[in-house]
Amino acid sequence: MTNAPNIVIVDDDPQVLKFLSTTLEENGYAVTTTTAGKEALAVTQQNPPDLLILDLNMPEPDGFDLLKMVHSQLPYLRILVISGYLKGRVLESFRFIGAIATLEKPITPDALASKVREILGR
């Protein structure tokens, strides 16, 4: 087995998690998923991934708070923020507090794969 880049995805919607993880696994990435922000924080602290994909609209802690926590503890970690509620410049503003990139939902498989390749340099 090759050393596939490791990606952690956190989203409270199981269907979205399935879509994102399947798409990325089909593109050769190793994927860990969680629906809980606290679990995502623990996973990223124990074994920092190559990329964290983070939904903003989640229960405690919400994606905004989780982004701040992860970025303060692991400032080098690449974080892709996704949202179906925030759009355009508002979503892009999350780049100022730790996100390396953003994507608006709904996300197509091609857009996701392209953005992740861009971030990870593959």
Task: Give which of 66, 122, 119 is closest to 97, Cα–Cα.
Answer: 66
Q: What is the pLDDT along the chain (122 residues), one digit of tens a residue?
A: 468 999 999 999 999 999 999 999 999 999 999 999 889 999 999 999 999 999 988 877 888 899 999 999 999 999 999 987 767 677 678 788 889 998 999 999 999 999 999 999 86
From the candidate CATH numbers 3.40.50.2300, 3.20.19.10, 3.40.50.300, 3.40.50.720, the one assigned to the domain spanning 6-105: 3.40.50.2300
* pTM of this structure: 0.92
Bridging pattern class, strands 51-55 and 101-104 = unpaired
- On whether the CB atoms of residues 8 and 32 are closer than 8 A, the answer is yes
Please tell me the predicted confidence (pLDDT) of residue 2. 60
Please tell me the predicted confidence (pLDDT) of residue 11. 94
